[in-house]
Amino acid sequence: MQYTVTVDDTSYQIEVERDEAQGWRVQVNGAPVAVDRVEIAKGHYSLLIGARSFEVFVRSVPNDDGGDGQTFEVLLDGLPRSVAVADARRHALAGLAKAAGDHGEATVKAPMPGLVASVLVATGETVERGQRVVILEAMKMQNDLLAPRAGVIRAIKTAAGQAVNQGQPLLVIGDAEAGA
């Protein structure tokens, strides 16, 4: 099966086939990649990609754009990523149907259970895409949560020292023009 996987702003062509002898055969942009995975718990995986090992947390998020693909929040090496997956045909059709834009509200959610170490922004503050907005302590590590888009902080739904669950909203980013 062929997919287009978009991580942040970079797209990859992924082909995945089930191989009875080796488990999975994966090609990324035409190059073969050795991949093995073990599910540790729901949404928590150990991945072996080539010779590198990764601990990954994955959470499915609803598509606000009405697209046919699926979007995930992925925490990899302590960094949150937005990952959109669509089969190749749907991706091509979506590219013809709409132009991308950073409009509307985006909610930053906890990618895993943890303790909010610090909220680095204030309501009304302008942020850039990729800017650190919250530091979450989880699994004895501090994880920087980044703004998924540029905009203005509309609401802060947490505070330093608060325990949070996976998927819990932490803050909301809106358009700079809205409410200006």
The CATH code for residues 2-97 is: 3.30.700.30
Going by C-alpha positions, the residue among 113, 122, 136 that lies closest to residue 173 is 122
Q: For residue range 139-152, what is the model confidence (pLDDT) as tens digits? A: 778 888 888 889 99
Whole-angstrom distance, CA of residue 154 vs CA of residue 126: 10
pLDDT of residue 35: 84
Domain edges within the chain: 2-97, 106-174
Whole-angstrom distance, CA of residue 173 vs CA of residue 122: 11
Q: For residue range 31-85, what is the model confidence (pLDDT) as tens digits? A: 998 888 888 988 898 888 888 888 899 988 866 555 556 888 888 877 888 888 8
3-state helix, strand, coil in the chain (%, to 5): 5, 55, 35
pLDDT of residue 139: 76
Mean pLDDT score, 78-102: 60
Residue with token string 């990609």: 49
pLDDT of residue 103: 67
Above 80 in pLDDT, residue 11?
A: yes
The CATH code for residues 106-174 is: 2.40.50.100
pLDDT category at 88 given cuts 50, 70, 90 is low
pLDDT of residue 99: 36
Cα–chain-centroid distance for residue 119? 19
pLDDT category at 116 given cuts 50, 70, 90 is very high
- Three-state DSSP string of 54-70: EEEEEEEECCCCCCCCE
Which residues face 28 on adjacent strands? 14, 31
Q: How long is the chain?
A: 180
Q: Are 74 and 89 in contact (CB under 8 A)?
A: no
